[in-house]
Amino acid sequence: MSSLNQLVRRHDHHGLKTSELDEMLLDPPEQAPKYARAAVYFISAVILVAGLGQLLGALRRRSSFHRRQLAALRYIGYSQPRALGFVKLPTLGSMLLIASFTLFIGIWTLAQQPYYYSSWPIGSPPLAIRSGFFALGLFPFILALGARWNLISFLTGHSHEQLQVFRRWLSHMFFVLSLLHALPFCIAGSATRTNDDGFNPNGYSEIYYSWHVSGMLYYWSGIAALVTLAWVCWAPLTPLRKHFAFLSDVLHYVSGILFLGFFYVHCNNISNTWQYFYATFAIYGFSLLARLTFLLIRNGRQIPRASIEPLADNALRVSIKCSHTWKAGQHVMVNFINAAPFESRSFSIANAPSEDGKATANPISLIITSSPHSTIYPRLRALASSGSSTPVLIDGSYGGLSHNTDFAQHQIVLLFAEGVGASFVVALLEDLCRRMKASGHGVQIEKVELHWAVEHEEVKSWFDEQIAEAVSLVTEGAVELHLYVTGTSVLTEQPQVLEKESPDADSELEKNSCFASGTSALSLKSLPSAPWALHDGTLSLGPLITDKLARAAAGSSVGVASCGSHDFNVEVRRAVAARQLLIVKGRGGEGAEEVELHCEEVRR
């Protein structure tokens, strides 16, 4: 059956006037697939440009002109407005891209005429058909972006997490277009159907007759798809997600599967619409197969086991001996079989891989903190108290720095963390110190600064030994450590700076440190202590970063990494973006001439 006949067969064209037949030529239904193709072409072009940008970004040119061009692009990519109440806004670059595509779809959908035909028998409302096919064009990309191992990340160099802002936005646009698809049918179909053929003696409306008398599947399947789509899009924003994460995930997946079924039935292969489903399932299926293959390879021969150790401030350290390899700054999805067999949680890896590259040389270390609505923390705490280990399934590693980002190519690196976000930056610090010691090809780093905001001072014991060991690899003064205590510490006395070479370091450590449960002062007495500079009060990110970048050596290159809450990262982004703008205008003074930024949301 032709595309035209499939689209208009739900309407009775018998007895149409010549003028009404001419109306059918305005935005004819057989041309409707062009709207879906337009959406596909636009998004594909953006992915291609982003991929080319990653390739060109790998060519590090140091001319002043190139740096100013790069600073302009980074200003757009780094600038981020502060949250408006509970609404968290993305970066300026993301908003511009979102706005451009929204205008592209919105203008074409609403500026194109007509919206409706003069009567129901002529055909489906053109506005409904346009918006429906635009939504269909978005469908493959929404599922592709939802896969943690996906081809778009591979092509663009941006991690799954960085792409989620676009997935959420595409999902909401899909929902709005679905409403624009449904409402015109309700409006146009509200007119009473004639009884000229004797089949409507009860005077039903056009849409009621089509649905309940003719029994057309388009209507019930469309309503069912719209209801499940509304749940998939909006339920994660409700308190259910916060208080009942596991139940929310289950309902999300069940609703998603139901939506796929209803949407498939609703399209009914009109104008070969099922081809979009086949392409979507092929892309998403490949991503799932690749993820499952890596999961089996890494866990199949011998399931790793995790040991759990209690730390200060009710935190836990999970150590997993396994054959995995990873890069500093990456994270893994972990399933604790004995604690929560049906849940997987994302955690930043708190240590860098071994220097020799052997995966078994050192275990994966994770820091887990309590949160008000955590379901997994109490169970892990119970395992730690009993001294039991648990088998785990590890999915990953994922994320981390983008393909062409190498902080060792900067002269100065500034690391900022909030709470357990230190897991991300400490792994980077460890890796950078090793590379500074090795002085390999392309390594230009001369100084690293870590600024860590915590509520209680004793939290530094999470990484004290690890950081001290990393600092010992480099020359004195190459690493600065700053701890900002924002709450009231359990400790009553603490020196402002604990120096490595202090003759009283051992006694001070024994006197003042807060030890993990079951750990004596004597066992920790011989461990090195990181040379922290302690500060009371809030970490003022904006002024601090502005000052550091302005005081950097003239023409220097600075890398900045941050891991914290949304608001924490926004302040870092805004300060770095302000420096980019000065570089573009040529008003950077004697400070840094290039600044590269990477931000991660904190994982518990």
Q: Could you give all domains of the chain from N- to C-terminal order, each with its CATH number? A: 3-19+34-59+92-215+269-292 (no CATH), 305-398 (2.40.30.10), 407-601 (3.40.50.80)
Lowest mean pLDDT of 119-128, 284-293, 443-452, 578-587, name the range: 119-128
Give the integer Cα–Cα distance in Å for 123 and 188: 10
Q: Which residue has the tokens 């995995």?
A: 324
Please give the residue that has the higher pLDDT: either 273 or 53.
273
DSSP states of 262-291 as a string?
HHHHHHTTGGGTHHHHHHHHHHHHHHHHHH
Quote the DSSP letter at residue 354. P
Peptide bond into 397 cis (omega under 30): yes
- For 433-461, what is the mean pLDDT? 89
Q: In this structure, which long-range contacts are made by residues 540-545, counting pairs with CB atoms below 8 Å and at least 24 apart in sequence?
A: 541/416, 541/568, 541/571, 541/572, 541/575, 542/571, 542/574, 542/575, 544/451, 544/575, 545/414, 545/416, 545/572, 545/575, 545/576, 545/579
Confidence of residue 385 (pLDDT cuts 50, 70, 90): confident
Burial 90-125, CB ≥16 within 10 A → b, else e? bbbbbbebbeebeeebbeebeeeeebbbebbbbbbb
154, pLDDT greater than 90: no
- For 436-453, what is the mean pLDDT? 88
Give the integer Cα–Cα distance in Å for 458 and 266: 59
What percent of the chain clears pLDDT 90, i.e. is strictly above it?
43
1: Cβ contacts below 8 Å, ≥ 6 apart: 9
- Identify the pLDDT of residue 14: 54
Confidence of residue 12 (pLDDT cuts 50, 70, 90): low
Phi-psi region of 2 (alpha: psi -120 to 50; beta: other; left: phi over 0): beta
- Identify the pLDDT of residue 501: 36
- For 368-375, what is the mean pLDDT? 79
Give the integer Cα–Cα distance in Å for 492 and 478: 30
15, pLDDT greater than 80: no
18, pLDDT greater than 80: no
| CB 423, CB 318: distance < 8 Å | no
SS3 state at 557: strand
- Identify the pLDDT of residue 43: 96
Question: Which amino acid belongs to residue 569?
Answer: N
Tell me how many helices (H) and strands (E) the chain has.
20, 12
Chain-centroid distance of CA 525 in Å reads: 41
Closest CA to 414 of 396, 432, 394: 432
pLDDT 10s digits, 403-444: 788 898 999 999 999 999 999 999 999 999 999 988 877 788
Burial 381-413, CB ≥16 within 10 A → b, else e? bebbeeeebbebbbbbbbbbbbebbbbbbbbbb
247, pLDDT greater than 60: yes
Confidence of residue 104 (pLDDT cuts 50, 70, 90): very high
493, pLDDT greater than 50: no
233: Cβ contacts below 8 Å, ≥ 6 apart: 171, 172, 174, 175
What percent of the chain clears pLDDT 70, i.e. is strictly above it?
84
- For 68-75, what is the mean pLDDT? 90
- Identify the pLDDT of residue 298: 80
| CB 455, CB 485: distance < 8 Å | yes
Confidence of residue 597 (pLDDT cuts 50, 70, 90): very high
Average model confidence (pLDDT) across the chain: 83
| CB 129, CB 218: distance < 8 Å | no
108, pLDDT greater than 90: yes
- Identify the pLDDT of residue 198: 66
107, pLDDT greater than 90: yes
- For 151-171, what is the mean pLDDT? 90
Instruction: For the beta carbon of residue 511, count every other beta carbon within 10 angstroms.
Output: 12
pLDDT 10s digits, 494-551: 333 333 333 343 333 333 333 333 333 333 334 456 788 899 888 899 999 999 999 9
- Identify the pLDDT of residue 11: 52
113, pLDDT greater than 60: yes
